[in-house]
Amino acid sequence: MPFAKPQASLSEVAAPAAESGRPVAAASSATSGPAQGRAPKAAAKKAKKKAVSAPAGGNTTADGLRRLGLRTDMDFILHLPLRYEDETTIVSIHEAGFMMGRPAQVEGVVTSCDIQFRPRRQLVVTMEDQSGPLVMRFLNFYGSQTKQLAVGNRVRARGEVRQGFFGNEMVHPAYRIVLEGAPLPDVLTPVYPTGEGVSQPLLRRAIANALGSVDLRDTLPPALLEQLGLMPFEAAARLLHNPPPDVSEDALAERSHPAWVRMKFDELLAQQLSMKRAQLARRKKGASPLKVEGTVFKGLLAALPFALTAAQQRVLAEIRADLRASFPMQRLLQGDVGSGKTVVAALAAAQAIDSGFQTALMAPTEILADQHFRKIAAWMEPLGVQVAWLTGSLKKKDKAAAQALVESGEAKLVIGTHALIQEAVQFPRLGLVIVDEQHRFGVGQRLALRNKAGDARSPARVPHQLMMSATPIPRTLAMTYYADLEVSVIDELPPGRTPIVTRLIDQNRRDEVIERVHAAALEGRQAYWVCPLIEESEALQLQTATDTHAALSAALPEMRVGLVHGRMKPAEKQGTMDAFTRGEVHLLVATTVIEVGVDVPNASLMVIEHAERFGLSQLHQLRGRVGRGAAASACVLLYQSPLGMVAKQRLATMRETSDGFEIARRDLEIRGPGEFLGARQSGEALLRFADLQTDQWLVDKARAVAQELLRDDKTTVDAHLARWLGSREDYLKV
């Protein structure tokens, strides 16, 4: 019998992290909190204080559980171990000293227990087995531990043995007091994700309870399981929480064991079902059909100085068909940097305006919003369309004026930053919302828009939505995170672009690069100079930007050198951008504020300093600022050697390809999906168990099964979602 039956139900358990013990048969026990890798001093103190004031099952535990997302019994079942500890064997202290950084479990009798004050307050306990002594050192500890570890008590301790001043030593071992001959567990001990107020022992008991009381029958029909070769849910759940002695530890650690595969499949399936169901629900909502193809649309098309590419025509047709529907469009328009998304967006807006509705266009930065405003207003105003400009930094008076234009319905097109959703702007007839560079907005902002009222005359209708992104999302990711969206792809660049030549140059040849900028300027070409990225400190980042500007101005006395950075006043920023656009500034020194969207076709040289500090998609975006005109363009990536492995891979990728999709694919490879999407983007939607890279084959299966089930088997869909989502409505909302 490896573990004692859980002695207390969850509601009876008070759980200061460091005081309750792991149940061991016929033994009082204690596991030190700090050894579990959490409960630093402050937290431990807090937990202790609360334990006094809060009764068993009081707020601390309940809050802690809620923070871990543990509400229902099923949530506990799905709280799967992070890893396992092997407590099935005991080695001698002598042997443990040779295990070189691998954790070992030893057992002995306490021979001394003292609080020492040098170099700082700590609890130092010595114990001994036949092979010799071991020092246990605790830098965080409770007074009660001196009682538990009193001389003569028998201790089982687990940790890494190091050679300390007094020989074999464990710092913060996990330990428990046992009676002589206490049986060893014969299965691996699960280690769960924990949080403040929730200890391992508490979780173990609660999960054991849940395993005894929850209906673990399968949500999926047996025929399907057989067809897919999946392990039954109950067997998988029991195995993962209590792995039997003969299980492959490696398969558990790598999460390739069939039990893990089953859980990952279920999770992916739940996500697919929930996203697809959200998509179906959206189709049931109303939207105003935007059907008219009138003077604005035709006028704009006729006025364009170029013909649309075949890809632009194709995605435009897809978008326009969606706009005619009486349920809201939610379409993601992907297209590499410079592929010409703006004009597609403007034509979609034209159709909305022709149909008598307003359009809101949101961009993530003021510079980009401003540029859209100028470009699109120049297209639209000659056609009699009033365009309003709305950002957070507008003066009160101007903002009020802009809002009045929107609220009277006079402004048919409103362009701005996310102030558009934050400020309480009321659109009397909002038909279409366009979000540019949507990957810069969080999931929350995307949802805020999803629910924005569309047409004041018929409030049940929501606006159509078009999201645009130049960060192409690889297929697997798109299928999981954007399963509720339709996707259009612009897969060709406008004609006449010459490829950008990318060169990697050591930072110590910076002077040669400055000379090159000089030569380019003499030929009438313009250049960007991107300052080194200093993520740790905004103040330092600004300092670097101004220093770089000063140095380059001094080095290039006959050139006009401009500067833009994030902390400048919007008017100042705009002034400089304008001067650059008009060709009056030759060299624009900038921080990453120019990363997205900025479009100045005459600029054909881009220098990025300390390129090794930038991410791959960031470099691609930055490089996309050049190569927009007919002139041959170049991008110089200055790097500081020696380069680390990852930086080397990134820079090599930049030199080898300029295809955004290929770059995204490699970025995913280098970084992994969690980071690729960025915390904001993925948020709670991140999968807990499945890994999109190694489990791609499961994503494909889950997707196919989801489609089948939604078509033929609603009962199974409901049961599966009830198990996996619990109280959450869908995978994007929590």
Contact positions vs ligand ADP (CB under 6 A): 306, 308-309, 312, 335, 337-343, 470, 494, 599, 601, 628
Task: State the nearest-atom distance from the C-beta of 453 to Mg ion, in Å.
Answer: 27
Pick between residue 14 and residue 337 the one whose CB is nearest to ligand ADP: 337
Q: Which does 185 bind (CB under 5 to 8 A by kind): ligand ADP, Mg ion, none?
A: none
Task: State the nearest-atom distance from the C-beta of 315 to ligand ADP, in Å.
Answer: 11
Instruction: Mention every residue, 6+ apart, whose C-beta is less than 8 A from residue 378.
Output: none
Measured CA to CA, the distance from residue 724 to residue 707 in angstroms comes to 17
Pick between residue 97 and residue 472 the one whose CB is nearest to ligand ADP: 472
Pick between residue 113 and residue 380 the one whose CB is nearest to ligand ADP: 380
Percent helix, strand and coil across the chain, each to the nearest 5 = 45, 20, 40
Task: State the nearest-atom distance from the C-beta of 213 to ligand ADP, in Å.
Answer: 55
Tell me if 205 sits within 8 A of 6, measured CB to CB.
Answer: yes
Query: What are the residues facing 490 on neighbouring strands?
Result: 335
Pick between residue 159 and residue 624 the one whose CB is nearest to Mg ion: 624
Tell me if 619 sits within 8 A of 487, measured CB to CB.
Answer: no
Residue, CB closest to Mg ion: 597
Could you say whether residue 454 binds Mg ion (CB under 5 A)?
Answer: no
Stretch that binds Mg ion, among 59-67, 91-99, 594-602, 607-615 (CB under 5 A): 594-602
Task: State the nearest-atom distance from the C-beta of 352 to ligand ADP, in Å.
Answer: 18
Pick between residue 129 and residue 437 the one whose CB is nearest to Mg ion: 437
Q: Which does 372 bind (CB under 5 to 8 A by kind): ligand ADP, Mg ion, none?
A: none
Q: Which does 339 bind (CB under 5 to 8 A by kind): Mg ion, ligand ADP, none?
A: ligand ADP
Task: State the nearest-atom distance from the C-beta of 363 to ligand ADP, in Å.
Answer: 10
Tell me if 554 sits within 8 A of 493, measured CB to CB.
Answer: no
Task: State the nearest-atom distance from the C-beta of 634 to ligand ADP, in Å.
Answer: 18
Measured CA to CA, the distance from residue 468 to residue 345 in angstroms comes to 9
Stretch that binds Mg ion, among 63-71, 176-184, 589-597, 619-627 (CB under 5 A): 589-597
Task: State the nearest-atom distance from the C-beta of 537 to Mg ion, in Å.
Answer: 29
Q: Alpha helix locations (H) across 324-365?
A: 341-354
Task: State the nearest-atom distance from the C-beta of 349 to ligand ADP, in Å.
Answer: 13
Pick between residue 159 and residue 597 the one whose CB is nearest to Mg ion: 597
Pick between residue 344 and residue 405 the one whose CB is nearest to ligand ADP: 344
Task: State the nearest-atom distance from the C-beta of 308 to ligand ADP, in Å.
Answer: 5
Q: Which long-range contacts (CB under 8 A, 24 or more apart) does 148-153 make?
A: 148/30, 148/177, 149/110, 149/113, 149/123, 149/125, 149/175, 149/177, 150/110, 150/113, 151/110, 151/111, 151/112, 151/113, 152/109, 152/110, 153/109, 153/110, 153/177
Tell me if 424 sits within 8 A of 456, measured CB to CB.
Answer: no
Measured CA to CA, the distance from residue 641 to residue 610 in angstroms comes to 10
Tell me if 568 sits within 8 A of 541, measured CB to CB.
Answer: no
Task: State the nearest-atom distance from the C-beta of 364 to Mg ion, in Å.
Answer: 11
What stretch of H or E contains 407?
A: helix 396-407
Q: Residues binding Mg ion: what is the number (CB under 5 A)?
A: 1
Task: State the nearest-atom distance from the C-beta of 621 to ligand ADP, in Å.
Answer: 9
Pick between residue 6 and residue 597 the one whose CB is nearest to Mg ion: 597
Q: Which does 309 bind (CB under 5 to 8 A by kind): Mg ion, ligand ADP, none?
A: ligand ADP
Q: Alpha helix locations (H) across 439-509?
A: 443-450, 475-481
Sheet of strand 387-390, all strands in order from the earlier edge strand to the far edge: 387-390, 413-416, 358-362, 430-435, 464-469, 330-335, 486-490
User: For residue 605, which of 577, 628, 574 has the smallest C-alpha distance?
Assistant: 628
Measured CA to CA, the distance from residue 20 to residue 13 in angstroms comes to 9
Pick between residue 610 and residue 628 the one whose CB is nearest to ligand ADP: 628
What stretch of H or E contains 50?
A: helix 41-53
Residue, CB closest to ligand ADP: 340
Q: Which does 628 bind (CB under 5 to 8 A by kind): ligand ADP, Mg ion, none?
A: ligand ADP
Pick between residue 342 and residue 445 the one whose CB is nearest to ligand ADP: 342
Task: State the nearest-atom distance from the C-beta of 517 to ligand ADP, in Å.
Answer: 23
Q: Which does 308 bind (CB under 5 to 8 A by kind): Mg ion, ligand ADP, none?
A: ligand ADP
Task: State the nearest-atom distance from the C-beta of 359 to ligand ADP, in Å.
Answer: 16
Pick between residue 85 and residue 492 the one whose CB is nearest to ligand ADP: 492
Six-digit token string for 406: 């929107």
Measured CA to CA, the distance from residue 255 to residue 624 in angstroms comes to 40
Pick between residue 290 and residue 337 the one whose CB is nearest to ligand ADP: 337
* DSSP code string of 586-600: SEEEE-GGGSSS---
Tell me if 607 sits within 8 A of 517, measured CB to CB.
Answer: yes
Stretch that binds Mg ion, among 170-178, 218-226, 391-399, 593-601 (CB under 5 A): 593-601
Q: Which does 335 bind (CB under 5 to 8 A by kind): ligand ADP, Mg ion, none?
A: ligand ADP
Q: Pick from 6, 416, 454, 597 the residue near Mg ion by CB under 5 A.
A: 597
Q: Which does 306 bind (CB under 5 to 8 A by kind): Mg ion, ligand ADP, none?
A: ligand ADP
Q: Which does 338 bind (CB under 5 to 8 A by kind): ligand ADP, Mg ion, none?
A: ligand ADP
Tell me if 136 sits within 8 A of 124, measured CB to CB.
Answer: yes
Q: Which does 312 bind (CB under 5 to 8 A by kind): ligand ADP, Mg ion, none?
A: ligand ADP
- Residues 301-330 contacting Mg ion, CB under 5 A: none
User: For residue 270, which of 589, 705, 733, 713 has the smallest C-alpha distance?
Assistant: 705
**Residue type present at position 416:** G
What's the chain's Rg over C-alpha atoms? Answer: 31
Pick between residue 157 and residue 626 the one whose CB is nearest to ligand ADP: 626
Burial 368-383 (b: 16+ CB within 10 A, else e): bbbbbbbebbebbeeb
Measured CA to CA, the distance from residue 260 to residue 250 in angstroms comes to 12
Task: State the nearest-atom distance from the C-beta of 594 to ligand ADP, in Å.
Answer: 13
Q: Which does 197 bind (CB under 5 to 8 A by kind): ligand ADP, Mg ion, none?
A: none
User: For residue 200, which of 398, 32, 434, 415 has the smallest C-alpha distance?
Assistant: 32
Neighbour count for residue 180 (Cβ, 10 Å): 8
- Residues 653-672 contacting Mg ion, CB under 5 A: none
Pick between residue 166 and residue 306 the one whose CB is nearest to ligand ADP: 306
What stretch of H or E contains 727?
A: none
Pick between residue 370 and residue 612 the one whose CB is nearest to ligand ADP: 370
Task: State the nearest-atom distance from the C-beta of 716 to ligand ADP, in Å.
Answer: 42
Q: Which residues bind Mg ion (CB under 5 A)?
A: 597
